[in-house]
Amino acid sequence: LDVRPGRVTSPLSGGRTVELTLDPVVQRVAERTMRKYRVPEAGVVAIEPKTGRLIAYASHKSDGEQFDVNLRAEAPAASVFKIVTSAALVEKAGLTHRTEQCYRGGKSAISADELREDAERDKWCATLGIALGRSLNVVFGRLAQKHLTPEDLTQMGGAFGFGTKVPFVIDSEASLIDVPDDPLEFARTAAGFWNTTMSPLEAALIAQTVANGGVTLKPRIVRSVSSGKETLWTAPDEPIVLRRAI
């Protein structure tokens, strides 16, 4: 990338140049921050919710084989998957952000005992909205067990793009979703433990979907292609809708 004060470009074959949608300031900060803190391996993707244009796309690997971290779907989805579970609870089970669930434990793991209702031991209660904001694992495990099926969770994951590649100008890996039938493992998956992976690019797309009222837009990074002073192609202004996820 050629990051200049006013624009970001990259060379193409045949003497052509591509101008990217990236914001030079945000791009430089992303690259500089990962270098400064010597991050072993990381990716940064920032996207405009209403247009799908990428304003930052930075990949960093300190040593070893170099590859684009943003396209690898090998990292656990972890608590990002709680967005999928929340959407399923609202759209498939009819819950709201005010739905309350009492609980105990589940701070960094979920045991079978913690999933059993016990009025005497369940000393805390949280709404679905608070549980999402505080990432309360056992609340998601219990609500999923009571209101959802593995098929529900798999379908909602698919609505957010899990199990498929992100449509992008560069080929990316497909994310993984494998929701188990075992009640305990199902609850753990709903809370973000195991069985799902994603790329930084897909994570940005999920955030974009929520910020855009449930509509997923195709991520775009190319603004125009030119040869010398001649513009060969310019991207349309209208965003490209992939789907309504929620």
Each of the 246 residues of the chain gets a pLDDT tens digit; together they read 999 999 999 999 999 999 999 999 999 999 999 999 999 999 999 999 999 999 999 999 999 999 999 999 999 999 999 999 999 999 999 999 999 999 999 888 999 999 999 999 999 999 999 999 999 999 999 999 999 999 999 999 999 999 999 999 999 999 999 999 999 999 999 999 999 999 999 999 999 999 999 999 999 999 999 999 999 999 999 999 999 999
* Residue 185: predicted pLDDT: 97
* Residue 40: predicted pLDDT: 95
* Residue 174: predicted pLDDT: 96
The pTM of this model reads: 0.92
In this structure, what token pair is assigned to residue 74? Answer: 């090998």
